[in-house]
Copies of this chain bind each other. A is one copy, B any other.
Amino acid sequence: MAQHKSPQRRPSIHDVASHAGVSAATVSKVLAGVTTVKPENAQRVFDAVEHLGYRVDPLASDMRRAKRRIIGAIMPEFESEFFGQMVTELEGLAEQRGYTLVAASSRESEARETEILARMHDWRVAGVVLAPVRNEHGPAAAFMKSNGMTGVLIDRVLSDDAFDTVSADSAAASAEVARMLVGKGHGHILVIGLAEQAATVRARLEGFRTQALALNPSVRIDVITSEVSVEPLRSSLRDYFARGERPTAVYSLLLKGTLVALSEFRRRDWHCPNDISLVGFDDAEWMQVTWPAIAAVVQPVRQIASEAMTLLFRRIEGAEGPPTARLEPCQVLMRESVGSPGNGPHPGGGDRQQPPLS
């Protein structure tokens, strides 16, 4: 039980040393677990530590070290469940190994991403977990490379020639979605996404398309993507429907797209799954309580986080060898938003017909 917690100056290693009647160096050794210290002295040190409520100052301790026990994490945003969980996991994993995690949000900006990275470099972080805004070929990864930083790239990446990468197996998951949709008889499917996240989105798209066409060569797959942000995507989608296109199912390659799709369905008073089916990449808690529940691809957050940290620490400890590119399997959650085409009312070119509600 710690006592003497004076709100003022915290005890330093010297206080412990003098209290234990040994030198600071010995205290340091004892606390580092060096076994060559006389047990009796070690015990005195432990007693002094407890008595004074001494705790190592990680900042001072890191000063003398080559690599500081800090891990940087850069996520595109913190607002979604996916990245929120990711940060939580990474934090726990870092803490387990005695490291402090410093997380920052790039707010979907590559410029900010590099600035943050520079700041983390200033801190001499031991390693970085970067979830790039776009993909592994952006300026952030380049910065890390040219500054000899050690890191792991996650999420919107496929593989890299300098860093280990870990991401969800988008292609496989998308193929499974294709199997389900085509299996249910959907012959005209719209896929929506943001193209900037090139690597991942392309993988998702290709995985889907390949599997769908393999199962039914005559299936029609339309694609709407936006280069920039989510609003252009909304307009494109609106135009697409306005010109009378009537797919029986929509597959959104990202969460924001799922939201956009739902809101456009609302505008037109279309209900899932009778009027149209919907599947989205990325699950969220609300998707199982809405009416209808929304089918979704669940990314294995914990596995990605844990694999990323394992690889990262391996590199921090000096592991050599070519970078690895891990793909973690996803789970596809079929829910009520997916039905068979032609089962519901599905009025021809039907536009809005009634006020919303119920």
Contacts and interface: CB of A to CB of B under 8 A. Distances in A.
A105 B88 contact: yes
Chain A, interface size category, equals 35 or more
B289 A263 contact: yes
A266 B67 CA distance: 53
Interface of A: 5, 7-8, 10, 55-60, 62-63, 68, 77-81, 83-85, 87-88, 91, 100-105, 107, 118-119, 121-124, 146-148, 259-260, 262-263, 266, 271-275, 284-293, 336, 339, 344, 356-358
B356 A292 contact: yes
B57 A59 contact: no
A344 to B, nearest CB: 7
Copies of this chain in the oligomer:
2
A357 B271 CA distance: 9
A262 to B, nearest CB: 4
A87 to B, nearest CB: 5
Nearest to A107: B88
A155 to B, nearest CB: 16
B274 A259 contact: no
Given A59-B59, A102-B102, A122-B57, A266 B286 contact: no
B357 A273 contact: yes
Contacts of A55: 118, 121-122
Given A84-B84, A336-B357, A271 B291 contact: yes
Contact of A81 (B79, B104, B357): B79
A63 B59 CA distance: 8
B91 A146 contact: no
A334 to B, nearest CB: 14
Nearest to A53: B147
